[in-house]
Structures are given as structure tokens and as C-alpha cells.
Amino acid sequence: MKKNKIIVAGIGPGSPEDITPAVLQAVQASDVIVGYKYYFRFIKDYVRPDALCIDSGMKAERQRAEEAFRYALEGKTVCVISSGDAGIYGMSPLIYEMMREKGITDQVEVEVLPGISAFQKAAALLGCPIGHDLCIISLSDLMTPWLRIEKRIEAAAAGDFITAIYNPKSQGRYWQIYRLLEIFAQHRSPDTPIGYVRQAGREEQVVKLTTLAEFDPEELDMFTVVIIGNTQSYNFEGHFITPRGYYDEGTLDKDAKIGQAIMIESFRTINSELANPNIPLDHKWALIHSIHTTADFEMEKILYSDPGAVSSIYQAMLDGKFDTIITDVTMVASGIRKGMLERLGLQVKCYLNDPRTKELADLKGITRSQAGIRLAVEEHPNALFAVGNAPTAIIELCDLIRRGKAQPTGMVVAPVGFVQVRESKYMAKVFKDIPKIIVEGRKGGSNLAATLVNSILTLDDAEALRPGRDV
């Protein structure tokens, strides 16, 4: 049996220039044109005089599909028109589902012709905002429960997708866009570009580029498409740009050694997966280092630093206020980059294996860690102290600070274990005038203490997210 034909055609966002030649040919060849009445104005010059035009109002999609099949089964060639692309919130899915429902697959042939979608037209008018991975979300909850929509919004925001929003606002649907912005604000910086285009490609067209912080949802309506950038998107002289590669990798990494290149890529991955990227840069730099060392994103919750602590210690190093880093164990010392120390003119000292340490520990009945800290304070009271193993080292240091015998330039507090570990960290936190980084709770370790020292001394690499030059 000869199949009858339905062509489902996307006529683009609204400008005659944006209708593809294939769609225009389909319109000219069709006996019946079915569509929303508003869209006929865009194709009227291409409809045959003898063609039957069946138009209907909003929310009559199923009725239009029924009409299309009725005429197709009479042997007519039917063109069902959809704005934008017929497969994106358009008529294509409904036509295919109805064909399956009616069981007439062997009687009707369906062809889908793509069109320029509204989000593509909007993107072109804004610049190049969709240069990387993207998703499209409709805020209309007429056919999709809101909780499912919100779950998709959460995924798009957390996944760092460029996100195009259809149906952002109408008379009866006004609060959903505010909830979406609230979710995105948890994953994007306030200066993230947001562009919107109203009536794309039509005479009433409005194009605006703004930011997440300045965006005003009251300017939107159901004829508007909104595009939210990812964490790499930026505004360049009024053009919304999302780079194809992250951080211009082609030029950034060309002079990096293999070890550094791997480290750079790891840091970028961590940065893109942070639950809350909108934190001060110096703390973020320490946090990324700690996650890189542990592969543990719980560090976001347990890594504490005084406001500006990393910047403060780094500046003190530049100002020559200390030239020595004291560690409680040799494992911390061995993890601090040697090339960096040489470049900056710093030394690392650990007194744990100093012969005087054992003598003092035996004499006073204290641990070697405590004895080592006492000796270190006598010789380097203003050093940067980094503890990654023994809580008693922190307890001793805190006692010496309280007695006025030590005034560290900074403290990295990361002892690990079960006895006196939490208590030692509470003690360290008391000293408000000493900048410090603390791994809270029971976690810590020599590797963490060392990497946190590395983060402090390489803060000048943080802006470009380019670690590892001394690796």
C-alpha cells in the first residue's frame, strides 16, 4: 500500500530569512498546511493558492495532529508547521506518538525537516554563548511536574552547562524563573553573563546582555529565550562569549611540562566540580590543592581558613617577615616543593630527629613532637608552622603562643588521628591575630599540611589556575 505523507517542518524563530530552502519547498509542495494561526504570516508567500490552510489557537496541538492525519489518510500531502525546530518543544514528538497510537505506521510516512531553533537565533544575536556543552530547559509545567523541572535545573547548574531557558515567564507562571536564578547563584559567580532575546528574528525583537547579579526577570515573557553562561563565559565589548576550550588551553599549556600539564588539568576539573565556586580566591586555591591531594570533596566542608589567611601569609613571605617553615615531621617537609623553596629563598626545618629533641623529651617527660616545637620556637619564633601529624605539636605551639614565646607568621593545622586531634584544632582557632588554615575534625595528614604550604607559596599562580611550575 502506498504511504501518505506528513511533513513536520520547523519554520525557524520568525524571520523569513531564517526559513530553510527545504522547508519552503515542502510548504510549496503540500496540499494542506496545518499550524498555529500566528505562524502562517511567515510562510503565506509560499503557500499554493489551491492549498488548504488549517490554523488553530494555542494549546490545540493534539487537534492539529488529528487534522494532519485525517487529511494524510485521504491521500493529501500535509505539512505541519512548528516554530523554531519542530523537534524542540514542537510538533514532531506528538505526530510520531499519535501515529504509534493509531497503529497506522504502514499507512502514513512522516518526514521531519529541521529548522533554526529560537535558542540558536538568540545565541547568534548575543554573540557566541553556546560554544560548549549546553542544555535546554522549559519552565512550563503544563506537561512536566515542577519538581522534575527543578531537578533538571539543579543538574544543569551543577554540571556547568550553558543553559537556554524556554517559557521563562507568563502571566500565570512568574515565580519559577526566580527559583531557577536562586539555584544558579549557588553554582555561578554574580558576573556570569546572561542574555535574553525577545521575539527573536521578528520586528519586535529585543536583545539584552546582562549578568546573573543584574538580571531582572520582570523584563521577560513567554516569547523570550534566556541563555545563562557557564563558568568560562564572559562579556567582551557587548558580545556574549563562551570559549570552546577551558582557559584557552591551546595557548596556556603549550609550554607546560608533562607533570605540570596533568596538574593543570586536574585543578581545572576540581574547580569545575566545586559545589560552591564563589569563594575568595586565596581560600579556593588552598581548597583545590587539598582536594587534588586527597580526591576528597568533603574538604569543601572541613577546610577552614581565616578570612584572607592565605593572602596574608603569602604577602608576609614577600615582605621578608619569615624565611623558615617549621614542620612537625619529615614527611611534611619532604612534600613541600624544593624548586619553589629555592626560588623563593626559603628553608624548611624539622626538629624531630635533632639529637637535642630526644634529650629534651626525656628530660621533661614530653613527646618528641612537643620537644621539637620548643626548640623550633627558640630559634624561629616567627616562622610559618605546618603540622600534619602530631596534635601534641599544635598543643605545645598554642601554649608557647599564650606565654608570649612564639608569634608565628602563620599556621597550617592538619594533625590527623583520634586522640586530642579535634581539641588541638580548637586551641589553634582561638588566636585571631595569627592567620591560619585548619583541616577540621579528625582528618589531616602530612600530605595535606605540605600541599597547603605549597598553596600559600604559589598564590600568584591562582588567578590563571596554573599550578605546578616547580613540580
Return the active site residues: 292
Cα angle vertex 20, ends 17, 21, to 5°?
105
Chain centre distance of CA 30: 47
- Using DSSP's 3-state secondary structure scheme, residue 357 falls into helix
Q: Are 35 and 81 in contact (CB under 8 A)?
A: yes
- Write the burial class of residue 161 (CB in 10 Å: 0-12 exposed, 13-18 middle, 19+ buried): middle
Query: How far, CA to CA in Å, does 155 sit from each of 116, 181, 187, 241, 374?
Result: 26, 13, 11, 22, 52
Write down the residue that cell numbers 605551639 correspond to.
397
Cα 459 from Cα 469, distance rounded (Å): 12
Alpha helices by DSSP H, 103-206: 118-126, 146-158, 176-185
Q: Give the list of residues 6+ apart from residue 81 with CB closer than 8 angstroms, or none.
A: 9, 11, 27, 33, 34, 35, 36, 39, 40, 43, 91
Chain centre distance of CA 48: 50
Write down the residue that cell numbers 556570569 correspond to.
192
